[in-house]
C-alpha cells in the first residue's frame, strides 16, 4: 500500500477507485450483521461462494460481505446490484436458484421477495420497501455499500475527505465551531452539546498538553445494538470522526472502549485501524499534515455501569469500573485526570458528515433543538424488527406503524419504551410525540442511546418495571447507598406486588424511595434508575392497583397471579399437554377432556405451547 501523503494523494486515490468501480458489474451483497448471522447468513455466504466458483462466474460476479443493513427481521438479506434487487429470508438452498434465475437469466425469484403486509404486493427493490422508505439513512446508509474489512470501499465513497478538509482547510478552532454550529448533540443518552464539550475540553488547562479522546462503544443498554451495527459495518466513519475530534481539541491519543460481548466489533475495528495506519491516515504525521494521532481499542469487562463516563475511564485505567463524583467535568479532568472528550459511537460517526457538508446543511435536519438523525433499534412486539435511522422530529407513531409495520398478530399496542434502563414507558396517547431530546425528557422518558422496545397488550407493565429494576440492581456498581440499597428495596417491593403480596402503602413508599434514589445517587445510573418505575406508575397506575388490590395481572404475565386451566369444550384429549407437563399436573384418558391439577401446576406454560387446539386457558 502506498502512503497517502497529502490531500491530493487522497483525492487521486478516490478518483481512481471510483473509476475502477464497474457500475455494470453484478455485485451480490450479503448482510453479515448480528441479526442475519444468527439466522445463518454465514452458510448462505459459503454456498454462494461455492456456487459462483462452480459455475465459473468469478469474473462476472462480485460478492460483498457487509455489516448490518438494518432489516434484521427478514434476515438473511441479499442485495443484488446494480439492479437493486432485494431478497429476504434467503437460505442455503435458495442459492443455486438465485444464480440460475437472477444472475444468469435475469429473472426474479418471486418467492424471496418482500411482501408488503398491507397491500399484499411483492416488492422488488430495496428502496421501495416501506421499512426503508420512511427512513433517512444519513449515517447508517453506507453500511450496505461497504465491506468493513476494506478501507478502499470507504474511500471510494468519499471517505476521509472530511478529514483532509479539516486538516488542511480548517484550524482546530474552526472545526470545533463548525460542530458547535451544527447543533450536534451526544447520541449516548444525555444529549450534551458535542461542540460545547469539545470547547471546554480544548480550553481546559493541561500542563503537559496531554488530552484524550474516547469513543464510548460500551452499549450496555439491553435491547439496543445500533453502535454495534455501526462499528461492525462501517468502522472507518467512526475512526475518521475521532481523528477530526482529536484535531479539534489537539489530542494525540484516543481510546475506543468496546463492550466485551462484541468480539466482532473489536476485530473489525482493529483491522480498520491497521488499514488506516498503513495508508498513513492514522499514526504519525497524518496525510502529511504534521498532526499525530493514534487509537487503541480497549475491550470492556462486561459491566453496564462502565458506559458511564467516569466508570469507563476507571475501567480504561485498569480499575474497578466505579463512577466518581463529577463536580468537575470529565472534559476538564477525565482519563488520568487529563481533559478528555468522550463521545458515543454514533456521535463520532456524525462528525465527518458535518465537516463534509457543513454545519448549515446539517442543522436543517431535525427540530429546533435536536439536529440530525438518530438510529434506533426497534425491537419487541413489532412486525419489522431492526435498526432504523430517522430524522429527529419524526413522531413515534410513524416509527411504530410506518417503519415498524405495526404490532404482530393483530394485538393492541400498549407502550413504547425508549432510553433503555434509564428511560421510560410511554403509552398510546403520547405516540404523536416527536423524537426530540427535550420532548422525550419532558414526559418522563429520554432519548437514550437508541433502544426502542414496543410492547403489546400481553406485556405487563409492572413486570417490565421489575425487569429493569432487577437489571439495574445487578448492574449498579454498589458504591453509593441510594442506588445500591434503594434499588434492592425497590425490587423487593415490586416483587411483592407481582407475587400478590402487595399492600396499599406500597406505591407511595415506592414513589418516596424513587425520589431519594433519583436525587441522591452519585452517578447517572442511580439518578435515572427510577425512570422505568416512575413512568409506568404515571401512565399505568391502574395496572399496579390491579396487582395490589385485586391481586390480578391484567396482562396475564405475573406467575403468582394467574392460573392455568383446560377448556373442556376445546380439549380433544390428545394428550400432548399431559406428556409435556414436567410435574405431571395434567391427567385424563385419551380422547376425553383432560384436567389440570392447580396444586401441582408450576405455571411453566409448556402445556399452552404444546396444545394444538388452544384448549389451555390462562386466567
Partner 1 sequence: MPFKSTDENITGGKDFPDLYYEEDNLVSLTIDRQKVRVEKGMTILEAARWMGIKIPTLCYHEGLTPWGGCRLCVVEVIKRGRSKLEASCTYPVAEGIQVKTNSEKVQKTRRMIVELLISSCPNSRTLQDLASGMGITEIRFKMEDNDCILCGLCVRMCKEQMMSGGIGFINRGAKREVSTPFHKSSEICRGCGACMYICPVVTLQCRGRREPGDLCNACINVCPTDFGF
Partner 2 sequence: MDIDKIIDENKGLKIPLIPVLLKIQEIEGFLSESTIRHVSRRLSIPLSQVFGVATFYSAFNLKPSGVNKICLCEGTACHVKGSTRIREKLERILGVKPGETTKDGIFTFTTINCMGACAMGPIMKIGTEYFGKMTPGKVDSIIKEYISP
Please give the residue ranges that form the binding site for ligand FMN (CB under 6 A): 186-190, 192, 194, 216, 218-221, 305, 307-309, 342-344, 347, 449, 523-525
Interface with ligand SF4 by CB under 6 A: which residues?
Answer: 305, 323, 476-480, 483-484, 521-523, 525-526
399 binds, among ligand FMN, partner 2, ligand SF4, none (CB under 5 to 8 A by kind): none
Q: Which three cell numbers stand for residue 175?
A: 472545526
Looking at residue 148, what DSSP letter applies? T
| 3 state SS of 374 | strand
Among 47, 73, 161, 251, binds partner 2 (CB under 8 A): 73
Residue 475 lies near partner 2 (rule: CB under 8 A): yes
Distances (CA, A) of 264 to 215, 235, 242, 427, 458: 17, 11, 20, 36, 35
Cβ-contact 65, 264 below 8 angstroms: no
How many Cβ atoms sit within 10 Å of the Cβ of residue 107? Answer: 10
Among 305, 341, 425, 571, binds partner 1 (CB under 8 A): 305
Q: Which of residues 366-385 bind partner 2 (CB under 8 A)?
A: 377, 379-381, 385
Could you tell me the smallest distance in angstroms from the CB atom of residue 474 to partner 2?
Answer: 9
Residue 258 lies near partner 2 (rule: CB under 8 A): no
Binding mask 446-465 for partner 2 (x = CB under 8 A): -----x-x-x---x----x-
Say how far apart CA 177 and CA 400 lie, in whole Å: 36
Say how far apart CA 425 and CA 99 lie, in whole Å: 47
Of 261 and 567, CB closest to ligand FMN: 261
463 HSE (CA, 13 A, CB side)? 16
Say how far apart CA 231 and CA 343 lie, in whole Å: 14
Residue 210 lies near partner 2 (rule: CB under 8 A): no
Residue 41 lies near partner 2 (rule: CB under 8 A): no
Among 34, 183, 391, 486, binds partner 2 (CB under 8 A): 34
Put residue 561 in one of left, alpha, beta given phi > 0 → left and psi -120 to 50 → alpha: alpha
Binding mask 277-306 for partner 2 (x = CB under 8 A): ---------------------xxxxxxx--
Q: Which three cell numbers stand for residue 297?
A: 481499542
Q: Is the dihedral angle over the CA atoms 352, 356, 359, 361 positive or is it negative?
A: negative
Among 104, 115, 296, 328, binds partner 1 (CB under 8 A): 328
Say how far apart CA 423 and CA 426 lie, in whole Å: 10
Among 432, 512, 568, 609, binds partner 1 (CB under 8 A): 512
Count of residues in contact with partner 2, rule CB under 8 A: 58
Among 478, 573, 575, 593, binds partner 1 (CB under 8 A): 478
Residue 502 lies near partner 1 (rule: CB under 8 A): no
Residue 534 lies near partner 1 (rule: CB under 8 A): no
Q: Which of residues 265-284 bind partner 1 (CB under 8 A)?
A: none
Of 408, 437, 436, 413, nearest in space to 425 by CA: 413
473 binds, among partner 2, ligand SF4, partner 1, none (CB under 5 to 8 A by kind): partner 1
Q: Which three cell numbers stand for residue 23?
A: 457500475
- Sequence length of the chain is 619
How many Cβ atoms sit within 10 Å of the Cβ of residue 516? Answer: 16
Residue 19 lies near partner 1 (rule: CB under 8 A): no
Could you tell me the smallest distance in angstroms from the CB atom of residue 377 to ligand SF4?
Answer: 23
Of 74 and 197, CB closest to partner 2: 74
Could you tell me the smallest distance in angstroms from the CB atom of residue 449 to ligand FMN?
Answer: 5
Residue 484 lies near partner 1 (rule: CB under 8 A): yes
**Rg of the chain taking only CA atoms, in angstroms:** 27
Kindly indicate which of the ranges 113-121, 122-130, 365-373, 598-606 contains the residues binding partner 2, using the contact rule CB under 8 A.
598-606
Q: Is 326 exposed, middle or buried (0-12, 13-18, 19+ CB in 10 A)?
A: middle
Amino acid at each position: 500500500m502506498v502512503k497517502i501523503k497529502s490531500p491530493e494523494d487522497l483525492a487521486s486515490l478516490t478518483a481512481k477507485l471510483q473509476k475502477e468501480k464497474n457500475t455494470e458489474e453484478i455485485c451480490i451483497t450479503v448482510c453479515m450483521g448480528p441479526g442475519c448471522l444468527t439466522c445463518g447468513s454465514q452458510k448462505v455466504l459459503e454456498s454462494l461462494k461455492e456456487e459462483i466458483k462452480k459455475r465459473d462466474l468469478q469474473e462476472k460476479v462480485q460478492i460483498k460481505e457487509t455489516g448490518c443493513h438494518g432489516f434484521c427481521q427478514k434476515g438473511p438479506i441479499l442485495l443484488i446490484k446494480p439492479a437493486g434487487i432485494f431478497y429476504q429470508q434467503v437460505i442455503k438452498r435458495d442459492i443455486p436458484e438465485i444464480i440460475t434465475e437472477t444472475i444468469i437469466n435475469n429473472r426474479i425469484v418471486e418467492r424471496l421477495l418482500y411482501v408488503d403486509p398491507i397491500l399484499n404486493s411483492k416488492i422488488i427493490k430495496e428502496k421501495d420497501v416501506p421499512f426503508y422508505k420512511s427512513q433517512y439513512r444519513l449515517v447508517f446508509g453506507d453500511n450496505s455499500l461497504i465491506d468493513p474489512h476494506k478501507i478502499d470501499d470507504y474511500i471510494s465513497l468519499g471517505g476521509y475527505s472530511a478529514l483532509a478538509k479539516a486538516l488542511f482547510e480548517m484550524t482546530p478552532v474552526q472545526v470545533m465551531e463548525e460542530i458547535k454550529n451544527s447543533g450536534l448533540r451526544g447520541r449516548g443518552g444525555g444529549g450534551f452539546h458535542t461542540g460545547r464539550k469539545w470547547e471546554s475540553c480544548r480550553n481546559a488547562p493541561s500542563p503537559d498538553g496531554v488530552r484524550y479522546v474516547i469513543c464510548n462503544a460500551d452499549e450496555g443498554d439491553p435491547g439496543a445494538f445500533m453502535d454495534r451495527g455501526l462499528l461492525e459495518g462501517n468502522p472507518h466513519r467512526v475512526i475518521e470522526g475521532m481523528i477530526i475530534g482529536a484535531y479539534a481539541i489537539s489530542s494525540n491519543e484516543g481510546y475506543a472502549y468496546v463492550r466485551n460481548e462484541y468480539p466482532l466489533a473489536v476485530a473489525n475495528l482493529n483491522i480498520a485501524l491497521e488499514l488506516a495506519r498503513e495508508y498513513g491516515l492514522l499514526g504519525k504525521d497524518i496525510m502529511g499534515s504534521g498532526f499525530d494521532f493514534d487509537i487503541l481499542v480497549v475491550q470492556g469487562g462486561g459491566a453496564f455501569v462502565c458506559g458511564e463516563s467516569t466508570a469507563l475511564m476507571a475501567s480504561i485505567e485498569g480499575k474497578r469500573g466505579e463512577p466518581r463524583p463529577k463536580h468537575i467535568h470529565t472534559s476538564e479532568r477525565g482519563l488520568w485526570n487529563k481533559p478528555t472528550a468522550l463521545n458515543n459511537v454514533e456521535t463520532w460517526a456524525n462528525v465527518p458528515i458535518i465537516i463534509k457538508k457543513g454545519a448549515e446543511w446539517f442543522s436543517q435536519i431535525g427540530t429546533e433543538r435536536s439536529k440530525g438523525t438518530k438510529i434506533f433499534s426497534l425491537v419487541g412486539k413489532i412486525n419489522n424488527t431492526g435498526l432504523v435511522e430517522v430524522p429527529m422530529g419524526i413522531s413515534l407513531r410513524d416509527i411504530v406503524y410506518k417503519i415498524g409495520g405495526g404490532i404482530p398478530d393483530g394485538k393492541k399496542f400498549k407502550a413504547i419504551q425508549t432510553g433503555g434502563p434509564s428511560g421510560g414507558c410511554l403509552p398510546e396517547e403520547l405516540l404523536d410525540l416527536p423524537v426530540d431530546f427535550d420532548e422525550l425528557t419532558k414526559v418522563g422518558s429520554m432519548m437514550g442511546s437508541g433502544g426502542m422496545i414496543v410492547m403489546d397488550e400481553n406485556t405487563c407493565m409492572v413486570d417490565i418495571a421489575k425487569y429493569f429494576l432487577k437489571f439495574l440492581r445487578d448492574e449498579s456498581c454498589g458504591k453509593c447507598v441510594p442506588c445500591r440499597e434503594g434499588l434492592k428495596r425497590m425490587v423487593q417491593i415490586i416483587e411483592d406486588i407481582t407475587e400478590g403480596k402487595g399492600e396499599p402503602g406500597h406505591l407511595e413508599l415506592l414513589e418516596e424511595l424513587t425520589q431519594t434514589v433519583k436525587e441522591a445517587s452519585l452517578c447517572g445510573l442511580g439518578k435515572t434508575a427510577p425512570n422505568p418505575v416512575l413512568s409506568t406508575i404515571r401512565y399505568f397506575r391502574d395496572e399496579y392497583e390491579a396487582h395490589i388490590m385485586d391481586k390480578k395481572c391484567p396482562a396475564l404475565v405475573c406467575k403468582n397471579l394467574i392460573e392455568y386451566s383446560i377448556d373442556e369444550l376445546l380439549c380433544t384429549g390428545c394428550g400432548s399437554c399431559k406428556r409435556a407437563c414436567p410435574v405431571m399436573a395434567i391427567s385424563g384418558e385419551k380422547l376425553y377432556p383432560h384436567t389440570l391439577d392447580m396444586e401441582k401446576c408450576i405455571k411453566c406454560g409448556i402445556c399452552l405451547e404444546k396444545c394444538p387446539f388452544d384448549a389451555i386457558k390462562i386466567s
